[in-house]
Every structure is written in structure tokens, then in C-alpha cells.
A and B are shown apart, each in its own frame.
Chain A
């Protein structure tokens, strides 16, 4: 029963969604059921956040309590999670009118302040550091060791030039229509055809995987091989 019931539920839910894809979504019965399932899916998604919050708190609290190496980071993580979550979830009606704007997630709230002045600059800094790594990686690793690597290297350099106005000006010095040729033949030509192949391949893979789940062949989502 523990295996059969989830399999039946997955099959019925999946079939409803597949069939409803091909019919008018406003159609009664099937349309209503599929809309209801979509709302459930969104609610279940919300609960997964709750599970995530509980899990991150438990794992980090355990490490902090037992003073494992790096426990300070665990403490910072716990403080960070609650510092952002509590003001965002705090009902505005529980605060005096003059302080009501501090709760919630609107502009001027505590959550927004933390997001704007802590979370955003920190994540942007982490992302910006990539520019330094890319520069050293370009110098140390991007070598023309084979004909394929040489082709990749030349194409990447041309596209990098084309993607900035200064490079585009340089390309126009070589030949006035060169940026347009790059766009037509590299980006909208070779690139597009390769991307189409990847997208179609991935879609076929996703369809096969979905079918395996619907038919109960793929059971890893239940924690079974």
C-alpha cells in the first residue's frame, strides 16, 4: 500500500495534467480539477520551504551546540535565517501604526532593508569575484591544445569582441559588415542550430522521464531505486 497508493496518485494527477494540456483550460470538470491540482502543487511547494527552514535550523544548531569546527558560521546562518524571516512574517497589525511599515516585505520594511543593504551587496560581491577567476582561468587554462580548442578559442574571442561596443568598433575597422556577419552566422546560425538540438534532446529526455514516473517505472521520488 505504501508503494501502490503514491503510484496511483502520481498516475492520476499526471494523466489529468497531460490531458488538460490539450484542452481548453476553462473547460469544466477536467479544467477545474487540473486548476485545483496546480493550487495544491503551489501549496506543497510552500511547505517544502518550511521543511527547508526546519532542516537548515536543525543542522546548523546541532553543529553550533556541539561546537564543531566552523561553528561560528553555523551561528551566523541561523541568525541570518531568522533575522530575515521574522520581520517578513510578522503581521503588521501586531505593531503600533507608526511602526507597522517595519513588518512585512514592502519597501521600508526590516526585511527589505536587510535584503537591499546586506543580501544584495553580498551576493553581488560573490558574483563579481567571478570576473577575477575568469580572467586568471582565461590566462592559465584557455589554451589552443587541439584544433577543436583552437576553434572554440577563436570563436569565443570574436563573440566577446562583438558583445561590446569597443570590440564592435574594432571589428568594423576590419570590415564594416563583420558584426552583422557574426550575428547572422555564429549566433543566429551555428549557435541557434546547436541550441535547438540541445533543447529538443532535453525535451525528449524530460518527456521520457515523466512517462517513466507516470507508469511507475521510475520510483526514485519515493526514495526507492
Chain B
């Protein structure tokens, strides 16, 4: 009976403390695990590898700042992968808070490592409201939807944008998102214009995208921290996701243990009540 009382009266503060410990331990004592590559991530990597060198890739930063722990490592690794292949990168976002600033900061940081010049090798178009109009409008004219880049420079003054006018000049679309915008990229841009694309999304978004992967509309998926860590391994740029995945490992184990404990208490309590009812 003692165990039933303990399990049913366990204070939530103990659970919070356990979560805190599970997060802190891997930070203090880094652990490394073998990260196996899933077919979805391998497929994404291969799709980016197959993009012709020196072609233009559209990288989207459709993300809010709260999920940056998952999405920033994905965007960072994608930029390493693309710049290493000498691809030109055009970035844009459909999210007003976060997207433009993150795209600006992350792209400039990674571009500096590869001696890439703004306006020549990469451009940040920034944000424009009404994503449906933006996604559809870019097919006819990028300049009519984005007359200027994120910092207000006219596109006509940016050499890269002299050759990139519509989706026709974009070889591949790499979507980094933490929301349902991937559906729109697929239904508007892939379905109508046949553009090849892949998606790097948060764990909670990934299951839905298997449907698009199965239909061939997405060439690959990076799902959450695990997907980001797998991609970092493939690109040989271990970073924040490789560190973060060990923290997530412990927390997942803890949650599974808590589910088990909670159910143990539930069954013991139910059995005790049944015994009592039988007299």
C-alpha cells in the first residue's frame, strides 16, 4: 500500500527536478551515441548532393524563435552543405517575427566561413505578408513580390538577382519550418510548378510530412533534433543538434519511465479498489 500512496501522491516538483537533472547531466558530462541515418534524411542529403554545383537554391526560414533549438542547426547545416557545393542561396521567410533576423544572422555567419559575398553568392529577401500570395507570386516574378531585399536594397542592385527571376532559375527548395507552411509549399509550388523540395521541420511536424514523402512531393525530411543530428553527421559538421540529441535521449527515457510509473500506480490502485469491493 505504501507504494500506491507514494505513486499517487508524488509531488510534481519531483518530476520537474528529474527533468532538470536529465537536461543538466548531458550538458556537464557530454555523451556521444552512434547516430544512424534514417532513409528520409539520407534521401534529403542525396537530393541536395544531386543539385548541380553553382546552381541557385531557395532556402526558407519559416520559423518562430521559440523552436530555434531544433530549426537553427538544420538551417546552419543546410548552408554548409550548399555553400560547400558552391550553390547560390536565396533566403526568404513567411514568418514576421524571427525569420528575417535569423536568416540574416545565420546566413552571414556561415557565408563568412566560405568567403561568400552578399548579393553575389547569397541574398536574403526577408518577409512579405500573405504567404499564399508570396508563394504563388514568386512563380511569375520575384521582383514584383520582393522589390527590395531584407535591408531595403533594390533587387536590381544585387548581381545574383539579375539571373534569378522566377522559380525557373531555382534548382531546389530547402524548407526549414516549424509550422504548417510546408503544406502550402507542397500544394502551391510543388504541385503547380513541379519544383523539387525537401523539408526540415520540428519533431511535431514530421509525421504529417511522411504523406508528402510517400507521394514523391518531398524528396526528404529532417524531423526534429534527431533528423538535424543525422544531417550534421552526413555533412560532417557536428554541431548543436549532435549535442542536443543526447539531452533529448535522456529526457525521452525519463518520460517513458514516468509513463511506466504512472501506469504502475494506476493498476495497483485499481487492483486494490477491486479487492476492497470484493470484500
Contacts and interface: CB of A to CB of B under 8 A. Distances in A.
**Chain A bound to chain B:** yes
Given A38-B137, A165-B226, A140 B262 contact: yes
A35 B36 contact: no
Given A49-B129, A165-B34, A136 B16 contact: yes
A139 B252 contact: no
Contacts of A112: 101, 104-105
Nearest to B67: A127
- Interface size class on chain B is 35 or more
Interface hub of B126, B144, B152, B263 (most chain A Cβ within 10 A): B263
A161 B246 CA distance: 12
A39 B137 contact: yes
Interface stretch (B52-60, B77-85, B156-164, B205-213): B205-213
Contacts, number: 190
A183 interface: yes
B190 interface: no
Contacts of A104: 151-152
B262 A139 contact: yes
A179 B16 contact: no
A134 interface: yes
Q: What is the predominant secondary structure among interface residues of chain B facing chain A?
A: helix
Interface in A94-134: 104-107, 111-112, 115-116, 119-120, 123-124, 126-127, 131-132, 134
Interface stretch (B169-177, B253-261, B271-279): B253-261
Interface residues of A, number: 63
B4 interface: no
Q: What is the predominant secondary structure among interface residues of chain A facing chain B?
A: helix
Contacts of B108: 107
Given A119-B65, A120-B65, A199-B211, A169 B33 contact: yes
B12 A136 contact: yes
A191 B34 CA distance: 26
Interface stretch (A40-48, A56-64, A68-76, A216-224): A40-48
A209 interface: no
B210 A191 contact: yes
A25 B145 contact: no
A138 to B, nearest CB: 5
A5 interface: no
Interface hub of A21, A126, A134, A160 (most chain B Cβ within 10 A): A160
Interface hub of B129, B144, B213, B266 (most chain A Cβ within 10 A): B129
Contacts of B187: 203
B104 A164 contact: no
Contacts of B110: none
B249 A165 contact: yes
A142 B262 CA distance: 8
A115 B95 CA distance: 14
Nearest to B255: A138
A195 B208 CA distance: 6
A111 B226 CA distance: 32
Nearest to A143: B266
A157 B256 contact: yes
A111 B162 CA distance: 30
B129 A107 contact: no
A75 to B, nearest CB: 21
A110 B248 CA distance: 34
Nearest to A159: B207
